[in-house]
Chains A and B, each alone.
Chain A
């Protein structure tokens, strides 16, 4: 009765082999590497590039131990394998491939990565290591909230300007136009003019929703956006924000950044192993609007009014702002152009002085406004102001050297890092809707390494103690249970690796907890077998009945645990979700290993012995006098009689 057909043994062998194969990649260490890729369509990732990468590293005296080319780019590893060599290699490649431009505007993206040393044949079978979560490898997690109301307000502002121009062009007379939030009200004194205006606006911009309001001579046309248009606007705003974030973060050359949309108005940014979280935060956090404004007073001009403003006496229409070095200057509240007119900004070097500069390009309308202003104000200063959450900050306030047009440059005493940061910030003017960081989690790399060790030690020592206890308590049957538990662990890690799940510290906790709970099934089985033996069943019969009777209980208890796991998965976020995934998978693998697999081994050990006298399952204690009739397992279902 305790024999498995051959195919069941084969399933066991296949499961263990697959488990070993897919668990193995996690044992190969991750080594620092550099990846060269591009986001420009015109540039080919080919062997020539790989040659250039190799030769430039050779020139820089960095020994390359491995290089490969695939669809994602050129990957290089180094003989030393330390992070210092990795950073040196990145700098060398930046110099030769991107002319030292480090902000993502260069032709190539040069990123620091960690690559697994898993052998090729394993990789080709998709046997890859698990991803490590930010809490295990260190890194930064940001959740950005996109301010949709802000985006709608801005759209209304643009629409208001369009409506003004449109009505003026068609010579339709109106009394004025007010904007409150995302609603525009155009005032008319004549119903016929309003009619004409409504007709005109509807044909020129079909996205607008028009409603007539007012009476007598106070007639109004209330203009809002149609719901579909609002939705489209919101979608495109978040898409554009995502794109901008993508460009900026990729520009920093960081390891495998993840930039994903979450829900209708949020963006998640995850950068594992970020070595410079402050700079990253600086770059993505700067998401306000950008304005070029006239400078009215600084240390070298109208110094008296600057001093007066410092005492709280700010002239009308101006405000006192401080730039990044702390200098306070008076700037006009109205702008010359806004960031939306700026189409590009990149750090570069001046052709003559070889000083780091920022090159800025604007669109036609922006160029016109700039030319008008700067032609009148040569040798004056102009401030580039970033407005974030209602607060304005001067990024830089250069002196206008000559009339500016669609292309101009900002020069001055700047380092290359400053120029690349300023270029990034100027480009951030192209963000479609303001954003705000509503959640941040930064884990330093040293804590990540500690967390791995803690998690690993928890599982290791917990497992060893548990296995020892179970072996001492149940002898050979206990050994089989411990073996089943090891198979459980193996399969769990293999499945997580196959799914390419992200392992977090709570995930490791879930592995430990799942193992602790999985042993329940084996305890149930072993206790049942002991009970059957106590009741006088023959060893073979006891094994068979023990497994059979325990099964229903195991199933029930696992399903209730699974319900909790699924709810956790459905409603959990971040680390809790990781916990839930591991927990649920662990329950499933434990059903296989604790019941099917351990039964297989028991069958293998005991099944063939026709006249089995004794099972090694520890002491089966028999009470001298049995008061109640113990649960005899041959009972036939019947109705219960009661007193």
Chain B
């Protein structure tokens, strides 16, 4: 089987400007959504309480909502997830109530007087009336702030680390182009999370960082090929060299991303609530990863090269003769 029967070379660089315009527009929309709507931060970053409840029969969301509102915690969310029996309740940080107390009050309010709690306070009621407290998480405001800060720091460190590595291994132009292309992916993930109001939690942050590392793979593969082509295609123009590099790695790019997506699809289908947004973030990242490394990163390299060197010394030319030996394992 062979999916990609590309005759000749795809003239990607010819339309480079258009791709740049498209990515600029999507990027702007994402940034706009982030600025206008903002991310729906989960309790990991915002602090607050989350409780996951399972009702023996389909839950009456309205009743649960009334019970939750009786606590007067302010902004509270009650929603179904997965099945009709599963209910997720989110509460903000409540001033003047001990942290430990909030979840207990919540469970007591939902159970009400008609359902006696078991001794361990993990379920209440019997038979069809049974309510089970499956998960409770509380994150204090200061922990949330720290998690947020360390997450942001991790993001910066990843960007700096990858740029440094690419600058040493290839050239600064590749480093800059690759990082712009990949940060663009992450911004689009964040933008979509903002637009749809999906919950942004710790696993999603992990997914963003994984995407950053992953889509740099693409840029590396193409950069590798560009460098190789510069050595071999002596008479070709820079555009031709880049077009050829993209065309010859196209098949591998799609197959690899498809393969990764198969695994991610497994998580999306079977992973349940906890992994849902994680897998979703990865899916977006994988789809845009293909686009960005092929259609954003390459034109950017070209553009950076043109403006700087005016095509006198094309990027990626072998800088040291040892390069050839490094290729061999």
Contact = CB atoms under 8 A, between A and B. Distances in A.
Interface of A: 135, 143, 145, 275-279, 281, 285, 388-389, 391, 436-444, 446-447, 450-451, 454-455, 457-463, 465-466, 469-470, 472-473, 505-506, 509, 512-513, 515-517, 519-520, 523-524, 527, 530-531, 547-549, 551-553, 556-557, 559-568, 570-576, 579-580, 583, 595, 618-621, 623-632, 635-643
A639 B265 CA distance: 45
Contacts of A470: 259
B210 A450 contact: no
B315 to A, nearest CB: 10
A470 B263 CA distance: 13
B262 A465 contact: yes
Interface string B299-329: 0000000000001101001100101101111
A440 B100 contact: yes
Contact of B267 (A462, A564, A568): A462
A277 B120 contact: yes
Interface centre among B157, B244, B329 (most CB of A within 10 A): B329
28 contacts: A275-B120, A277-B121, A278-B120, A285-B98, A455-B271, A458-B267, A462-B262, A473-B255, A509-B275, A509-B278, A516-B262, A520-B256, A523-B252, A547-B329, A552-B327, A563-B162, A571-B154, A572-B202, A572-B206, A576-B202, A580-B206, A619-B2, A628-B9, A628-B236, A631-B229, A636-B324, A638-B234, A639-B317
Interface centre among A548, A560, A638 (most CB of B within 10 A): A560
Closest 8 CB pairs between A and B? Answer: A564-B213, A462-B266, A516-B263, A278-B121, A438-B140, A571-B154, A516-B260, A627-B8
B266 to A, nearest CB: 3
Contacts of A637: 231, 318, 321, 323-324
B240 A628 contact: yes
A171 B2 CA distance: 100
A519 B252 CA distance: 11
A461 B248 contact: no
A450 B104 CA distance: 24
A627 B240 CA distance: 11
A513 B259 contact: no
B2 A621 contact: yes
Interface of B: 1-2, 5-9, 52, 54, 98-100, 103-104, 119-122, 132-140, 142-143, 147, 150-151, 153-154, 157-158, 161-162, 165-166, 169, 202-203, 205-206, 209-210, 212-214, 216-217, 220-221, 224-225, 228-238, 240, 244, 248-249, 251-252, 255-256, 258-267, 269-272, 274-275, 278-279, 282, 311-312, 314, 317-318, 321, 323-324, 326-329
A470 B133 CA distance: 43
Given A466-B263, A506-B203, A575-B202, 12 more contacts: A437-B99, A437-B138, A438-B140, A454-B271, A465-B266, A466-B259, A551-B328, A552-B224, A570-B157, A572-B150, A580-B206, A624-B7
B199 to A, nearest CB: 15
Contact of A631 (B232, B265, B279): B232
Contact of B99 (A438, A463, A506): A438
Interface centre among A465, A563, A626, A632 (most CB of B within 10 A): A563
Contacts of B324: 636-637
A506 B278 contact: yes
A260 B264 CA distance: 35
A262 B281 CA distance: 31
Contact of B270 (A454, A527, A552): A454
Contacts of A278: 104, 120-122
B1 A440 contact: no
B328 A548 contact: yes
Interface centre among B120, B237, B240 (most CB of A within 10 A): B120
A29 to B, nearest CB: 22
Given A444-B122, A450-B272, A552-B327, A560 B267 contact: no
A374 to B, nearest CB: 32
B202 A623 contact: no
Nearest to B318: A637
B217 A567 contact: no
A523 B256 contact: yes
Contacts of A277: 120-122, 136
Contacts of B235: 641, 643
A628 B162 CA distance: 33
A contacts with B: majority SS: helix
A459 B122 contact: no
B271 A440 contact: no
Contacts of B229: 631
Contacts of A618: 1-2
Contacts of A446: 54, 132, 134
Contacts of B166: 560
A278 B263 CA distance: 38
Contact of B217 (A275, A279, A560): A560
B272 A451 contact: yes
B2 A620 contact: yes
B270 A461 contact: yes
Nearest to A511: B263
Interface centre among A457, A505, A561, A630 (most CB of B within 10 A): A561
A279 B187 CA distance: 44
Given A451-B272, A513-B263, A628 B154 contact: no
Contacts of B220: 553, 556-557, 560
B5 A621 contact: yes
Contact of A524 (B228, B256, B261, B264): B256
B245 to A, nearest CB: 9
A627 B9 contact: yes
B327 to A, nearest CB: 4
A215 to B, nearest CB: 42
Nearest to A470: B259
Nearest to B49: A440
A510 B260 CA distance: 12
A182 B125 CA distance: 50
A641 B157 CA distance: 38
Nearest to A512: B263
A568 B260 CA distance: 20
Contact of B134 (A443, A472, A556): A443
A261 B249 CA distance: 50
A571 B224 contact: no
A640 B228 CA distance: 10
A440 B274 contact: no
Contacts of A465: 262, 265-266
B136 A441 contact: yes
Contacts of A436: 98-99, 140
A495 B27 CA distance: 41
A436 B97 CA distance: 12
B115 to A, nearest CB: 15
Contact of A444 (B135, B154, B260, B327): B135
Given A437-B138, A440-B136, A509 B143 contact: no
A562 to B, nearest CB: 8
A520 to B, nearest CB: 4
Nearest to A140: B136
Given A276-B119, A637-B318, A564 B232 contact: no
Contacts of A143: 140, 143
Contact of A640 (B52, B120, B153, B231): B231
Interface centre among A275, A443, A513 (most CB of B within 10 A): A513
A554 to B, nearest CB: 9
Contacts of B328: 548, 551
Contacts of B151: 571
Contact of A559 (B1, B7, B165): B165
Contacts of A630: 248
A574 to B, nearest CB: 7
Contacts of B217: 517, 520, 557, 560-561
Interface centre among B154, B264, B326 (most CB of A within 10 A): B154
A472 B255 CA distance: 12
A290 to B, nearest CB: 17
B317 A640 contact: yes
